[in-house]
Amino acid sequence: MGLQSAFFTAISGLSAAGRALAEIGNNIANAETVGYKARRISFGDLFGATIGGGGTSTAVTEGRGVSVLGVDTVFTQGSLASTSNALDMAIDGDGFFQLKDAAGNSFYSRDGQFSVDKDGKLVNPSGLFLQGFQANSSGTILGTTGDLVLTTTQEAASATSKVTLSGNLDATVSSATFAISNPSGTSQFSTGVTVYDSLGTAHDLTIYFTKTGDNTWRYNVVASSSEVTVDASAVSGTNALIYTGSLTFTSSGALDTETSVAYYDASSASAGGIDFTGGASANQTITFDFGTSVTTDGGTGLDGFTQFGSSSTVLTLSQDGKANGTLTGTTIGSDGIIVGRFSNGTTRNLGQVALVRFTNPDGLDAVGRNLFIETSDSGTPTTGKPDSGAFGKVVANTLESSNVDLGDELVKMITMQRTFQANSRIITTTNDLLGELVNLSR
């Protein structure tokens, strides 16, 4: 049985070495595959019949070669490489991207190459849908997972409802009387502000400040007469008076009171709001906030407009309206939140990438295309958010490289080549010995 066993053991060695060379070759072939995880083969020895001893301590179990016990996936972290695609993502730490096909079957991957399909869904190169937490229209991240969709709709316009200003009015200037026919010549200071109507159309307004007495000013808001519909008494040429109010200051220069005097609507003054042309909503109300005045608001009178003996100036000016906007780009944070940038300068959360973890990732079954599926050995996935708990961080504009060590694989290849050659030599040697044995009978 000895020479015959030698054949069997050598053949098993050839088979095992060949299988190992196949796995080594596969690792080398995927050394540049994004997110690829190296595979490692495990061997075990084989035993056959017991020789001699009748089951006593002198019995010897005859070796019958080697078998492949299994092939494991090595889930060590691959190096991270920067890319120019804003939707490329790498996981730095534990976790997998979850993907689904059109039938709802789940797959898992470390390959973060993503793009947007015709429906705005984030997909991998195989067209599978990336799973995540969607955001509502206000940017709040919702609690259930599904296909991540980057909205292709426009960011809605928002009509201006408040203009906030701070600055100083020069206390040393002389008094005057404002006239819409000559706003620049009948005011001591002015500043411009762009506001938006309900359709998102921009309108340039000018706020004229006219000193009417000691510590008393009037502000008059003027628009282009072609952009608003106002009472005829408020129009002069291209100028249309749409709003007016008064400001008073204490003897120490603090804002004391602020009063809205009138809107100049199409029907009459004080009719309720501003009527922009072009189909926008009528009677748009805009509040002009000059600070927390002492008497009117119970404030200090020093956080908005003041009146000191220095040049008139505007320090800050803002308004809360916006034009409509289209999606122009995205950024992704380490927490996986995808933030959309819109053409009107606003940003909004569009969704959040979900990650999953397994109790035993070694139990996952590789199915090709950088994908894995769960098995009874892997356990069921746990879903979570990146950069929280035991989940890794998402790194945008980055891909995880293959974790194959080429140097190590080449060493293994040479070793397996020698193993294969040695087992081949056993076969040829055994064959020679059998030939000699046959010749003994001649």
Q: Where are the domains of the chain?
A: 2-76+403-439, 80-155+327-400, 162-319
Distance CA 254, CA 252 (A): 6
Q: Tell me which fold the domain 162-319 belongs to.
A: Tick-borne Encephalitis virus Glycoprotein; domain 1 (2.60.98)
Here the tokens at position 267 are 């029907």
Q: What is the pLDDT of residue 263?
A: 79
Can you tell me the distance from the alpha carbon of 370 to that of 350, in angstroms, rounded to the nearest whole number? Answer: 27
Q: C-alpha angle with apex 385: 363 to 337, nearest 5 degrees?
A: 130
Radius of gyration of the chain (CA): 39
∠ Cα 184 186 189 (to 5°): 60
Q: CB of 73 within 8 A of CB of 364? A: yes
**pLDDT confidence of residue 266:** 66
Which residues in the chain land under pLDDT 70? 1-2, 47-61, 266-272, 441-442
pLDDT of residue 59: 59
pLDDT score at 322: 95
pLDDT of residue 261: 76
Task: Assess contact for 342 and 348: CB atoms under 8 A.
Answer: yes
Which of 206, 167, 203, 168 is closest to 187 using CA atoms?
Answer: 206
- C-alpha 251/C-alpha 305 separation (Å) is 14
Integer Cα distance of 137 and 413 in angstroms: 56
pLDDT score for 271:
56
| Rounded Cα gap, residues 147 and 114, in angstroms | 13
